[in-house]
Amino acid sequence: MLSVYDKVLTSYSMPTLYATTALALVALMVLGGLDLARSRLLVRSGVLLDKLLSRRVLKEMLTDLARVDGIGYTQGLKDINTLRNYLGGSSIFAFFDVPWIFIYLWIIYMIHPKLGAVAGIGALILFIVGILQTFLTRNYMTSFDKWNNQAEQWLLKSFRSAKEIDVMGMTGNAGRHFAAISNTGLAHMEKASRFNHFFSAVTSSFGTLMQVFIYGAGAILVIQNETAPGVIIAASIIMGRALAPVNQGISAWRQTSGAKRAYDNLNRLFSIGAHRELEQIDEVNGRLNIVDLSLDIKDKRVLNGINFQLASGEIMGLMGHNGAGKSCLCRLILGMWAPTEGRVELDGRNVYNLDNDALGAKLGYLPQSVELFAGTVKENIARMGHVDDAKVVEAARSAFAHETILGFPQGYDTDIGEAGLMLSGGQRQRVGLARALYGNPGLVILDEPNSNLDQAGEDALVLALQHLKLMGTTTIMITHKPSLLNAVDKIMMLKNGNQIIFGTRQEVLEYHATMQRGN
């Protein structure tokens, strides 16, 4: 604009016009090339971010959800997707262009100080508007994320329990409960959107207003013979470029704040276990030493001063009424939870300080409610990892589930469907037991392993316990069945989180019989 108005139109020089046009075309080609390169680099960065973080985030989320004091964060993969889309979108461009604001303002100032002052004041006002928008919407967006997360969790639980909800006539109640959670989140979202729309309208109108101011200020300077007419158009264009990043940042603030929250969430997830130095472990012999073990959950003591020892290959029965703390004790022994006091020593090492990936392959766990995954029977027995057919069959034979599995339509290759819905409760439990015994673990914990088994299944479980004894595998089993207690070496009884008695099977059964007669 300066060249055309001040050089070409005053001198009628076509060569000057050609040269100026050529330079402008070269500059625009460079600009386009840089924009293309930046976009491609950001898209590749987003894809690389996903590849680098997805597996680690999933692992950290699962570890956190297993902790008693976990933050319950389940949005990690969604947050990675948010960051990837943000990097690959246009919203982030505004922040790359922020340093150029000062360069553009400096150029306007060099054209004329008064025009630079007008543009600078306009940029400052827009910046203040952006800060106000951040301040007024931040809490609403945080609340929306919290309620939205609760709504998603409710949906997942409802889907898993769809049959029970339908049978008990809870469908309408479930829908109303979900709507109440969702509507609360949407109310916060609506308030944040109201502010966002207001500030977007303000910035859009203010941008046009600044064009009016710069034209007016330029016209005054031309009338006063302080500058040339071309300066008006040139300053207007440069000011538009200077204010563009601010306008883009404000209009894209929702995406930016979402990306910031996603980053903060992931950072908080990674920081939880950052202080733990995990030890590697090659093998587990199963020697257990529980020392003054206590656990508090939400300021309530659920386990208090538990002490016992198990040698390699011993089987312990764990007894107690509902709420006695049996499952909590098992989770502490497996290293899922950190104890409030005391420690769990496995082969002389604190189990909570052992690396989960290395330790998990040497442990077996059959929870009270067996969760299987979509896939084949052998994939589930192999813990969804590399399938070693020989080890899969060995684990099934150890669990005395081989014949049962062969009775499935495709045997070990049978697809069990989502969450193992193609199998009955007893079949899921027997496949779960085979999974627990996969790889000949040194320590196995069975939580009510007979809860869904018929008599044949219980007989197979007794044989599996005898096999574990022969293999030298230390086993802890939660049960109330006398027939299963015949297979154990020692028994512990818990009551309200306290250790009532621990000893040999004969000692504890005699104590229990005495207490029964006393009552």
Calculate helix-pair angle for 455-471, 389-398, nearest 10 degrees: 110
Residues 383-436: tens digit of each pLDDT? 888 889 999 999 999 988 898 899 988 999 998 876 666 788 888 888 999 999
Sequence-ordered list of residues with C-beta below 8 angstroms from that of 412, at least 6 positions apart, any chain: 376, 377, 378, 381, 389, 392, 393, 396, 405
User: Which regions of 263-313 does DSSP assign to beta strands (E)?
Assistant: 288-297, 300-310
Residues 230-268: tens digit of each pLDDT? 788 888 888 888 888 777 777 677 777 788 888 888 888
Mapped onto helix, strand or coil, the DSSP state of residue 447 is strand
Q: In the structure, what pLDDT confidence band is assigned to residue 311 with cuts at 50, 70 and 90?
A: very high
CB 331 within 8 A of CB 337: yes
What's residue 277's pLDDT? 66
Sequence-ordered list of residues with C-beta below 8 angstroms from that of 442, at least 6 positions apart, any chain: 283, 284, 285, 286, 312, 362, 363, 473, 474
* Cα–Cα nearest to 332, from 313, 322, 318, 321: 318
Give the Cα separation of 353 and 440 in Å (integer).
22
Convert 360-422 into a string of H (helix), E (strand) and C (coil). HCCEEEECCCCCCCCCEHHHHHCCCCCCCHHHHHHHHHHCCCHHHHHCCCCHHHCECCHHHCC
Rounded to the nearest integer, the mean pLDDT of the chain is 84
Residues 161-216: tens digit of each pLDDT? 776 777 777 788 888 888 888 888 888 888 888 888 888 788 878 878 888 888 88
Give 191-252 as a DSSP string.
HHHHHHHHHHHHHHHHHHHHHHHHHHHHHHHHHTTSS-THHHHHHHHHHHHHHHHHHHHHHT
Residue 274, token pair as written in the block: 């950052």
CB 494 within 8 A of CB 326: yes
Residues 104-128: tens digit of each pLDDT? 889 888 888 888 898 889 888 888 8
What's residue 306's pLDDT? 93
CB 478 within 8 A of CB 307: no
What's residue 239's pLDDT? 86
CB 228 within 8 A of CB 113: no
* Cα–Cα nearest to 284, from 471, 10, 511: 471
Residues 17-63: tens digit of each pLDDT? 999 999 999 999 999 999 889 888 888 888 888 888 888 888 777 77
What's residue 310's pLDDT? 92
Q: In the structure, what pLDDT confidence band is assigned to residue 479 with cuts at 50, 70 and 90?
A: confident
Most confident by average pLDDT, 88-92, 352-356, 443-447: 443-447
Residues 480-492: tens digit of each pLDDT? 777 788 888 999 9
What's residue 276's pLDDT? 59
Query: Which residue bears the tokens 């948010």?
Result: 82
What's residue 275's pLDDT? 57
Please state whether the predicted TM-score (pTM) of the whole model is above 0.75. Answer: no
Q: In the structure, what pLDDT confidence band is assigned to residue 308 with cuts at 50, 70 and 90?
A: very high
Give the Cα separation of 138 and 149 in Å (integer).
17
* Cα–Cα nearest to 147, from 109, 116, 180: 180
Q: What percent of the chain has pLDDT over 90?
A: 17
